[in-house]
């Protein structure tokens, strides 16, 4: 699922950069959890497609979960990992990918993550958020201070309830939905009616609140 999420995230980044990432600068902000792992997969794919990628770990390396830790080691071997103390080498990248917090986030970002959220919002460049903008509560849609103001959000499998909230709209931007390989039977077992929207593409745009 992490590989699928990251690959779709990289594909959406390529679309936002006009269809090619060759020579473009992309900064990927990665948290220590599985959402961050998806960002790391995207960083690796974008690097393979010719982008100038700088990946930043926004939390302590010693709290990385098992699978993201493997992904981070790969980025370090590829020389894509940026030391947090020095920060990205680009003042204004072509695109920022926000993969700091996932659906499990609640409350307020801690100081280190908060600084990176503020940094991203100050760059004045497009921001693509994975699953939901970091700092936004995925259940209530209430934004914390600070909260990423995304140009677009690529949410996974199904849209999160908080993304529908009116107060979330200014932070979510355009909404896209990505397939991460969850079988239809899983939704049915949860009591959800699910007709797959991914028959023609692994990423679809959600045009309005009814589709969300």
Instruction: Name the DSSP class of 98.
Output: E
Task: Flag residues of the chain having pLDDT under 70.
Answer: 84-87, 89-90, 208-212
Beta strand 174-178 pairing with 203-206 = antiparallel
pLDDT value of position 34: 95
What pTM did the predictor assign?
0.94
List the end-to-end C-alpha distance of the chain, in Å, as a whole number.
Answer: 21
pLDDT value of position 207: 76
pLDDT value of position 87: 64
pLDDT value of position 83: 73
Q: Enter the tokens of residue 88.
A: 């990205």
pLDDT value of position 209: 42
Q: Are 122 and 101 in contact (CB under 8 A)?
A: no
Residue 17 vs residues 51, 92, 100, 123: alpha-carbon distances, Å:
10, 14, 21, 16
pLDDT digit string, tens, across residues 84-124: 665 676 579 999 999 999 998 988 998 899 999 999 999 99
pLDDT value of position 51: 98
Residue 47 vs residues 35, 163, 179, 203: alpha-carbon distances, Å:
19, 30, 22, 21
Nearest-5° Cα angle at 62, 131 to 114: 50
Q: Give me the CATH topology for the region 2-206.
A: Rossmann fold (3.40.50)
Q: Which residue has the tokens 């690959």?
A: 7
């Amino acid at each position: 699922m992490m590989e699928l999420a990251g690959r779709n995230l990289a594909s959406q980044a390529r679309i936002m950069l006009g269809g090619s990432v060759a020579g473009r600068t992309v900064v990927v902000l990665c948290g220590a959890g599985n959402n961050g792992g998806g960002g790391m997969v995207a960083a690796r794919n974008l690097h393979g497609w010719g982008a100038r990628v700088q990946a930043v770990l926004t939390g302590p390396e010693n709290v990385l979960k098992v699978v993201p830790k493997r992904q981070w080691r790969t980025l370090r071997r590829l020389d894509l990992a940026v030391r947090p103390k020095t920060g990205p080498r680009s003042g204004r990248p072509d695109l920022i990918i926000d993969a700091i917090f996932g659906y499990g986030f609640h409350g307020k970002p801690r100081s280190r993550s908060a600084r990176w959220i503020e940094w991203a919002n100050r760059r004045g460049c497009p921001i693509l958020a994975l699953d939901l903008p970091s700092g936004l509560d995925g259940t209530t849609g209430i934004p914390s201070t600070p909260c990423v103001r995304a140009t677009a959000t690529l949410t996974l499998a199904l849209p999160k309830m908080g993304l529908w909230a009116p107060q979330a709209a200014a932070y979510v931007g355009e909404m896209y939905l990505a397939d991460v390989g969850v079988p239809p039977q899983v939704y049915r077992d949860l009591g959800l009616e699910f007709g797959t929207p991914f028959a023609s593409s692994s990423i679809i745009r959600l045009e309005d609140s009814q589709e969300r």
